[in-house]
Structure 1
Amino acid sequence: MYLPNHFKETDPAVLHRFVKEHSLGALVIQGSHGLSAEHLPLLLETNEAGLSILKAHVARASQLWQEVLKGHDEALVIFQGPSAYVSPSWYASKLETHRVVPTYNYATVHAYGRIKVRDDVQWVRGLAARLTREHEATQDTPWRMTDAPADFIDEQLSRIVGIEIHISRLEGKWKMSQNRSEADRKGVLQGLHRESMPQATETAAEMARVMLRTSPE
């Protein structure tokens, strides 16, 4: 992706936080019949060597994991965060020059790596349990795999195949008006807060976080 320096995010802690908070990723590979994509909840973990690995499962009926077994194992996973339209009328500089245009503010992380298939029921069971704990943690009464009949869980697990992606490169792009003046950035924040859509509120919060992190001491 096009990545100007003022939008580039390289801090591993920030990138990892983002992936964990926006864990539904678009997994893209180049297969036998062209590009193929799956939208999957992914778990980010670190192995004994300190390397980052994304773990997920796909339907056994999916062609994606079979393409990997054929050698099409190079992958890109796209994690998309908050995004919102930015009106040029929000910029303070509009009143001065009128040399402004509409844009979008957004945050995204691209993870590159190679996929390994884990067609192992015990591995898949362990992953499903960890994914469940991760996503049920906010519930008043978290659902557990043991809440369902064992034979039903066994049947469901037989229908999925595990995959893991060993990350070779992470790229983060936070396009949050860093290339605008302080007055323009404040105008964008005010404009986003006036919008009624949740995405605008979330984008404003991420933008404020970026401004705080990049402001001079």
Structure 2
Amino acid sequence: MVDERIARLVAIPGVRTAAEVAEQVAGAAASSEVLPVLPGLTRLLPGTGLERGDTVAVSGSVSLLLGLVAGVTGAGGWAAVVGMPELGLVAAAELGVDLGRFALVASPVAEVIAVATALLDGVDLVVLGSPAVAVAAVSGPVARRLSARARHRGAVLVAAGPWPGAELELRAEPGLWSGLEDGPTGYLTGQIAVVYRHGRGAAARPARFTVALPHPGGEITAVPVRRDRSAEQVAALESAR
């Protein structure tokens, strides 16, 4: 039985169930081999966007994960998040996620893998929340089966945590917060984090970036970090605010 809290979320205009999303995109042909990302995130990727068929592991930052979702929905694609009922829809919208092209699906842990498998048949980008990732990671065959499904269907599977065999891994480490510059009271508005990238193929060469998550105005900004200038680059990001 669906939790009342989840039922209220699904009732919000623009938040659809997995079945409704799959129905609307069924039969749609892939228009590109690459899913677009927000301009501020292109530097994090080895190419110009997310390669269809890839599995991407994102850890340490929900904002970074939502940034990937925002790029896809903002360009007219479809995205779904499975197993993250605590996800803030207001925060998602502020980061640019088009809730009209987004599904938030809460399923019992035992059903998450089956739901994700079904979504990969018709949704451009599917995010597996941390509990779901833990379930899949326990079983190597399950993880491989989901990645193979994404590859076969031309979707992108994004895991909110480590994932065996992921083509791309983005790991964020928290850094400086902004929003309290005028004193001990106020609201946190963003964070400068360091994101480490590695993976396979074009992403085999490790890279490190400073990322403003989110930048004022909902934007995300990423620049490469050089070991001898990382402090300067962080300062530059701060002054740009």
TM-score, with length taken from structure 1: 0.27
Larger Rg: 1
Hey, which of these two has a bigger chunk of strand by percent? 1
Higher relative contact order (CA 8 A, sep 6+): 1
